[in-house]
Amino acid sequence: MKKCGYIAIIGRPNVGKSTLLNHILRYKVSITSRKPQTTRHQITGIKTENNIQYIYVDTPGLHQDEPKAINRFMNKEAGSVIQDVDVILFVVEVGKWTSTDAWVLEKIAQAKVPVILVVNKVDQLKKRHDALVFEKEILEKYHFAASFLISAKQGHYIDKLESKIAEYLPQSDYFFFGTDQVTDRTERFIIAEIIREKLMRTMGQEVPYQLTVEIDKCKFDEGKNLMEIHATILVERKGQKAMIIGSKGSKLKKIGTDARQDMESMLDRKVFLQLWVKVKENWSDDERALRSLGYDSNL
């Protein structure tokens, strides 16, 4: 008898949810950066091992009091999975419990599935005792099915976490996905996300959060083993456009080079990448614009 089920990775922004998923899969399906709100969509990561298929759902970080349409979309993306999974991983950052963490836990408490507490970034503490004290404080807030102190970045104790998750997955006569499938996201989606990741990382503190990436062309030439990709970076103001392009195009060139290298590694083929930057005023708070860019239609 097989086991197969869905696991939601839930938490406030920037606690390491995407890093955890990528480490579990040993494959990059979810982009990462030190900036909050990097993940905007549900990202499904699939891991099949022996008779168990884990279907992880990485979610945008839940956050309070964000009025823009795109923030409502991200909250909806994260909140919608809570009732549709078999296990929830509630990820928090060690030593940092905020009002948003408490708010997220209130949302999770409405679910009728096991919730596993995952205290991440323990590698940042000098004393394990401090992590244990923090873990004990959180355990008093809810009846968790289990609890783990981990480092998603270093990979510490993740194998034990996976073993515990497997205990709660339901039995199944079949797997929901192919055994060699790693995600249900399209190639075009992942390409756009790679570009957005490089934008977030290259721009540093200057990064405008009001940016998104649209793939205009994605064509593979089998004879040349070459993928031709044209993409447009959308921002809301002319000043943001100038920041991304940089002096004599220097920043845009670096973003393109870094993204192309990641794409070539992922696709195992040569990539020709052409990037443009375009101003689309107020796109992140315009529901019609969001729909045209592939975001949810019911914000």
Q: pLDDT confidence of 41, banded at 50, 70, 90? A: low
Backbone CA torsion sign across 86, 63, 118, 141: negative
Residue 297 in domain: no
> What's the domain count of the chain?
2
Domain, as residue range, for 201: 187-292
Residue 65 in domain: yes
Q: What is the mean pLDDT of residues 130-148?
A: 96
pLDDT: which is higher, 212 or 225? 225
What span, in angstroms and rounded, lies between the C-alpha atoms of 257 and 272?
A: 10
Q: What is the mean pLDDT of residues 39-64?
A: 77
> How much is the pLDDT for 299?
37
In the chain, which ranges are continuous DSSP H helix?
A: 17-25, 69-80, 99-108, 128-139, 158-168, 187-203, 238-245, 250-267, 287-292
Q: pLDDT confidence of 298, banded at 50, 70, 90? A: very low
CATH number of residue 234's parent domain: 3.30.300.20
pLDDT: which is higher, 35 or 224? 224
User: Both 13 and 141 in a single domain?
Assistant: yes
Looking up tokens 């406030």, which residue turns up? 12
User: Both 155 and 195 in a single domain?
Assistant: no
pLDDT: which is higher, 296 or 258? 258
User: Both 9 and 126 in a single domain?
Assistant: yes
Residue 75 in domain: yes
What span, in angstroms and rounded, lies between the C-alpha atoms of 90 and 40?
A: 18
> How much is the pLDDT for 146?
97
* 39-157-12 Cα angle (round to 5): 30
User: Both 239 and 278 in a single domain?
Assistant: yes
What span, in angstroms and rounded, lies between the C-alpha atoms of 38 and 299?
A: 19
pTM: 0.71
User: Both 35 and 127 in a single domain?
Assistant: yes
User: Both 55 and 132 in a single domain?
Assistant: yes
User: Both 98 and 231 in a single domain?
Assistant: no
> How much is the pLDDT for 34?
55
Q: Which of 190, 174, 170 is nearest to 271 (CA)?
A: 190
Q: pLDDT confidence of 182, banded at 50, 70, 90? A: confident
What span, in angstroms and rounded, lies between the C-alpha atoms of 226 and 211?
A: 28
Q: What is the mean pLDDT of residues 223-248?
A: 90
CATH number of residue 28's parent domain: 3.40.50.300
Q: Is the pLDDT of residue 297 over 50?
A: no
Residue 202 in domain: yes
User: Both 197 and 288 in a single domain?
Assistant: yes
Residue 158 in domain: yes
DSSP summary character for residue 159: H
Please state, for a pLDDT cut of 70, what percent of the chain lies above it: 80
Domain boundary among 140, 172, 204: 172
Q: Is the pLDDT of residue 277 over 60?
A: yes
> How much is the pLDDT for 161?
96
